[in-house]
């Protein structure tokens, strides 16, 4: 992977299935897809901590990953809206199968159990992502799965704050923009009140 072209991935979702969706972002110029190549997807998988993302990326990884991403995006929106879930595409992704558990001794004498994923095909590379999405849909608290409150922003997050009052994908991005806009609005209101 040519790191000079590595896209900047934001991991703001606090759940890997939401970070998956967030690899497409709205901008003033339209949607920006941070995946433009098989290598981009491989880089994202490695960053997300998926063990299968090693070795050369299989052909068709970008296309498969984009397909899975849109499947998950629709399911999250359906789940959020209490709408019927169209599960067949995600179930097909889950059927790539073939993972197994493996035990290995750790330095301190304990045993570490990890799941090994096959890595021949694109579907196999994406299997842990599909499993993470299935886990979110089955076990996630969708009261805490929310889209950023900014209308201009398309990012989703899992609110793991203690107060459960998270509103923004990130304070540095949308939170501050909102604060500045609210401040300007107050200033303008004050100015017009004084002018009267």
Candidate residues 150, 157, 158, 166; the one interacting with Zn ion per rule CB under 5 A:
150
Helix (H) or strand (E) holding 158: strand 156-158
Nearest distance, CB of residue 180 and Zn ion, angstroms: 14
Name the one range near Zn ion by CB under 5 A: 11-19, 51-59, 163-171, 180-188: 163-171
Site pattern 105..144 for Zn ion (x: CB under 5 A)? ----------------------------------------
- Pick 51 or 173: Cβ nearer Zn ion: 173
Q: How far is the CB of 53 from Zn ion (least distance, A)?
A: 27
* Matching residue, tokens 């806009």: 181
> Closer CB to Zn ion, residue 61 or residue 145?
145
Of 92 and 147, the one with the shorter C-beta distance to Zn ion is 147
Residue 145 beta carbon to Zn ion: minimum distance, rounded to whole angstroms: 15
Residue among 33, 10, 4 at smallest CA distance from 170:
10
Name the residue among 46, 34, 48 with its Cα closest to residue 6: 34
Kindly tell me the burial class for residue 51, based on how many C-beta atoms sit within 10 Å of its own C-beta (0-12, 13-18, 19 or more): middle
In the complex with Zn ion, which residue's Cβ is closer, 22 or 124?
Answer: 22
- Strand partners of residue 25: 32
Binding-site size for Zn ion (CB under 5 A) equals 6
Q: Does 153 bind Zn ion (CB under 5 A)?
A: yes
* Alpha-carbon gap, residue 142 to 18, rounded angstroms: 12
Q: What is the DSSP string of 15-78?
A: SHHHHHHTTEEEETTEEEES--SHHHHHHHHHHTT-TT--SSPPTTHHHHHHHHHHHHHHHHHH
Asked if 169 interacts with Zn ion (CB under 5 A), we say yes
- DSSP single-letter state for residue 84: P
Nearest CB to Zn ion, comparing residues 126 and 174 = 174
Among 17, 148, 156, 158, the residue binding Zn ion under the rule CB under 5 A is: 148
Can you give the binding site for Zn ion, defined by CB under 5 A? 148, 150, 153, 155, 169, 174
């Amino acid at each position: 992977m040519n790191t000079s072209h590595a896209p900047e991935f934001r991991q703001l979702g606090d759940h890997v299935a939401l970070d998956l969706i967030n690899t497409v972002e709205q901008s003033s110029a339209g949607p920006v897809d941070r995946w433009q190549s098989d290598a981009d997807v491989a880089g994202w998988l490695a960053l997300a901590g998926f063990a299968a993302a090693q070795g050369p990326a299989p052909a068709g990884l970008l296309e498969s990953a984009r397909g899975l991403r849109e499947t998950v995006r629709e399911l999250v929106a359906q789940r959020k809206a209490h709408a019927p879930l169209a599960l067949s595409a995600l179930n097909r992704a889950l059927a790539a199968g073939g993972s197994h558990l493996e035990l290995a001794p750790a330095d301190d004498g304990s045993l570490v159990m990890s799941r090994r994923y096959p890595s021949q095909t694109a579907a196999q590379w994406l299997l842990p992502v599909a499993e993470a999405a299935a886990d979110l849909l089955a076990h996630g608290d969708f009261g805490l799965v929310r889209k950023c409150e900014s209308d201009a922003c398309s990012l989703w997050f899992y609110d793991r704050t203690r107060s459960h009052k998270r509103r923004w994908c990130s304070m540095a991005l949308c939170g501050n923009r909102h604060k500045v806009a609210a401040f300007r609005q107050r200033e303008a209101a004050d100015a017009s009140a004084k002018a009267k």
